[in-house]
Amino acid sequence: MPIPPGLVQLLRRHLDEYGTTQDGRLFRAVRDGRVRSTEYTEVWQEGQRRAVSALAVQVRPRSPPGATVTGWPKLARMDWLPLLSTLAGAAIGIVATLIADRNRWKHEDVKEALRLRLDIYTQYTTTVKVLGETLRALAEREHPSGDERALALREAFRDSGIAIASERMWLIAPQPVVEASNSVFHCLRRICDGYIDGTAVSSPESRARWEARGKAAAKMRQLMREDLGVGPLTERHSPLLNDYNNPGAQ
């Protein structure tokens, strides 16, 4: 965008003295932070006030007290176009900078939100997988008593971190993903409770619970991918009935 020569000189002087930030921004706040739009407005209003004051001093006629004003006709014949062009160019430059910065900030906010959700989704799906493997391994292990078996399963569920991962989902994820992740949580809860009650790993009841968990996890991952703007999977991630003999891979 073309700008007046006077503004070019000011910008070059600013660059020589202050340079730019690491990401190429011309203006910066404290500790290289971003300049807020309100601060731009305050600086612009102050600059406008000073410019108008200086202009009034320059064009004020120098007539002695009591004399007739003879300078105004000359003032009316002044070429105002350069001055108005400079003011218009400065205003356009500032507005363009504000719009570009605002659009860049919005884009960066969207990218940061996606990165945050990706981290939360990865933590939750990993926790779900590890917890499923742990529950099955504990259920297959020999325990001195049923009470000790139940205690080991409860501690594994509690210490898995799934409660914290679930809370993060409730705080950040959109409603469909939250509902799907909550369904997976309760599937694992039913698997754990079934093993605590003495359900055998190879029983039809256990098989049905693992199948329900696999379907819920598949739906959850699909919704997560849609939320992240990723295309659908061409292969099934969560095993169902045919993979029952290896639910840890779910």
93 near 7, Cβ under 8 Å?
Answer: yes
CA distance 109 to 234: 30
pLDDT at 29 over 50: yes
Tell whether 98 and 180 lie within a shared domain.
no
Tell whether 145 and 243 lie within a shared domain.
yes
Residue 75 lies in a domain: no
CB within 8 A of 181, min separation 6: which ones?
A: 124, 166, 169, 173, 220
pLDDT at 129 over 50: yes
Predicted local confidence at residue 14, as pLDDT = 75
Tell whether 239 and 131 lie within a shared domain.
yes
**Mean model confidence pLDDT for the chain:** 77
Predicted local confidence at residue 97, as pLDDT = 62
Q: Which domain holds residue 202?
A: 113-249
The residue ranking higher by pLDDT, 8 or 91, is 8
- DSSP one-letter string for 135-157: HHHHHHS--SSHHHHHHHHHHHH
Among 144, 155, 249, 244, which residue's Cα sits nearest to residue 201? 244
Residue 71 lies in a domain: no
Residue 64 lies in a domain: no
Kindly indicate the confidence band of residue 47, based on its pLDDT and cuts at 50, 70 and 90: low
- In the chain, the percentage of residues whose pLDDT exceeds 70 is 58
223 near 112, Cβ under 8 Å?
Answer: no
Predicted local confidence at residue 244, as pLDDT = 41
Mean pLDDT in residue range 148-163: 94
What the block records as the tokens of 162 is 């799934």
Q: pTM of the prediction? A: 0.56
Taken in order 230, 235, 237, 239, is the CA torsion positive or negative? positive
What total of structural domains would you count in the chain? Answer: 2
